[in-house]
């Protein structure tokens, strides 16, 4: 069952008489109890999707969507009321997410008091429980600590515990391992996978790292210039990419280059967000593009997990 269903979501931001096309026709289906990766380079729209889900778009933003639904509710109407209650954010910078002058006890208590009508002793017991659920060995000591007294990995676990304390169904993990070293980052990813398995949570994993997607995500969507270009089950997406942009991303990974050889690069530039695009948005940079690509976008089908078929050089199957 899908917890989140987005079809043809576009977001325009006003700018001096024109509009910034922050998102253009994004499709995203996330099944309940899974981790879904949102992949793309900086500026492709990953965080803008998160802000749309959390009801945190700038003033004057215009949202257009064929479908924009969370658990049967239209997000365009209720996104703000779901923030922190049904949808929570795990920040990529835990040091910035935590207040440096308040103890972890106070910050955990603030979250629990905002979302649960519990007496103080019960809130304390729940704070201990949620911190322990993230693998922190001595929750009582952590509660007495200030953020600067904790390591980066411990701070990130506290931020995850705060997200759990809200009782949210969907956690948006925005580059949750960026500020951590490789070993600690792997531990945090393993923790998120464990929470999905044990607590039935659903996670939207925002990342630019294909290794993260391969390690923990059940499914994934690839974004380019504010548009979703391909998506589906992770194993299939990585083993059999259908869109040239996805193929180019995988070819640019360090492991894909022969030893001593040059890394592959994608020539050209990302289109300006104020441009009006006709046809395939990747066509100007695609080595396989034909004249028709600038006129018509690749056909799509959305059966179960979504998939985008680029028809370059072959006949694509299109399901209604």
Given this model, what pLDDT does residue 278 score?
83
**Rounded CA gap, 285 and 270, in Å?**
8
The correct CATH number of 2-308 out of 3.30.230.80, 3.40.50.300, 3.40.980.10, 2.60.40.1220 is 3.40.50.300
pLDDT tens digits for 72-88? Answer: 999 988 878 899 889 99
Given this model, what pLDDT does residue 164 score?
94
Given this model, what pLDDT does residue 214 score?
93
pLDDT tens digits for 225-237? Answer: 999 989 999 999 9
**Rounded CA gap, 144 and 147, in Å?**
10
**Rounded CA gap, 313 and 286, in Å?**
13
The first and second tokens of residue 180, run together, are: 């951590």
Dihedral of CA 223/226/228/229: which sign?
A: negative
Given this model, what pLDDT does residue 310 score?
58
**Rounded CA gap, 63 and 47, in Å?**
15
Long-range contacts of 69-73 (CB under 8 A, 24+ apart): 69/4, 69/5, 69/6, 70/3, 70/4, 70/170, 71/3, 71/4, 71/169
Contact 264, 307 (CB under 8 A): no
pTM attached to this predicted model = 0.89
CA distances from 93 to 97, 152, 153, 179 (A): 6, 9, 11, 6
pLDDT tens digits for 127-162? Answer: 999 999 999 999 999 999 999 999 999 999 999 999
Q: What parts of the chain have a pLDDT lower than 50?
A: 301-308, 311-320
Given this model, what pLDDT does residue 298 score?
67
Given this model, what pLDDT does residue 263 score?
79
Given this model, what pLDDT does residue 288 score?
82
> Measured over all CA atoms, what is the biggest interatomic distance in the chain, rounded to whole angstroms?
68
């Amino acid at each position: 069952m899908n917890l989140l269903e987005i079809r043809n979501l576009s977001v325009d931001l006003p700018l001096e008489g024109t509009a910034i096309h922050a998102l253009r026709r994004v499709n995203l289906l996330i099944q309940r109890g899974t981790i879904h990766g949102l992949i793309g380079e900086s500026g492709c729209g990953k965080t803008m999707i998160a802000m749309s889900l959390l009801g945190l778009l700038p003033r004057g933003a215009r949202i257009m969507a064929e479908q924009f639904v969370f658990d049967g509710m239209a997000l365009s109407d209720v996104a703000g009321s779901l923030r922190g209650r049904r949808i929570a954010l795990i920040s990529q910078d835990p040091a910035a997410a935590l207040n440096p002058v308040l103890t972890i006890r106070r910050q955990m208590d603030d979250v629990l008091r905002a979302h649960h009508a519990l007496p103080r002793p019960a809130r304390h017991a729940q704070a201990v429980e949620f911190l322990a659920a993230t693998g922190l060995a001595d929750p009582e000591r952590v509660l007495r600590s200030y953020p600067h007294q904790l390591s980066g990995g411990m701070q990130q676990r506290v931020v995850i515990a705060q997200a759990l304390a809200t009782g949210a169904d969907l956690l948006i993990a925005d580059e949750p391992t960026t500020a951590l070293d490789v070993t600690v980052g792997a531990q945090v990813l393993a923790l998120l996978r464990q929470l999905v398995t044990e607590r039935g949570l659903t996670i939207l994993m925002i990342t630019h790292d294909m290794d993260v997607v391969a390690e923990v995500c059940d499914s994934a969507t690839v974004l380019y210039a504010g548009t979703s270009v391909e998506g589906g089950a992770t194993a299939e997406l990585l083993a059999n990419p259908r869109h040239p942009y996805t193929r180019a991303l995988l070819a640019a990974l360090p492991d894909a280059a022969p030893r001593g050889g040059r890394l592959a690069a994608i020539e050209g530039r990302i289109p300006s967000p104020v441009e009006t695009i006709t046809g395939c948005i990747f066509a100007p940079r695609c080595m396989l593009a034909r004249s028709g690509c600038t006129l018509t976008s690749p056909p799509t089908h959305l059966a179960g997990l979504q998939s985008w078929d680029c028809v370059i050089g072959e006949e694509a199957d299109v399901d209604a």
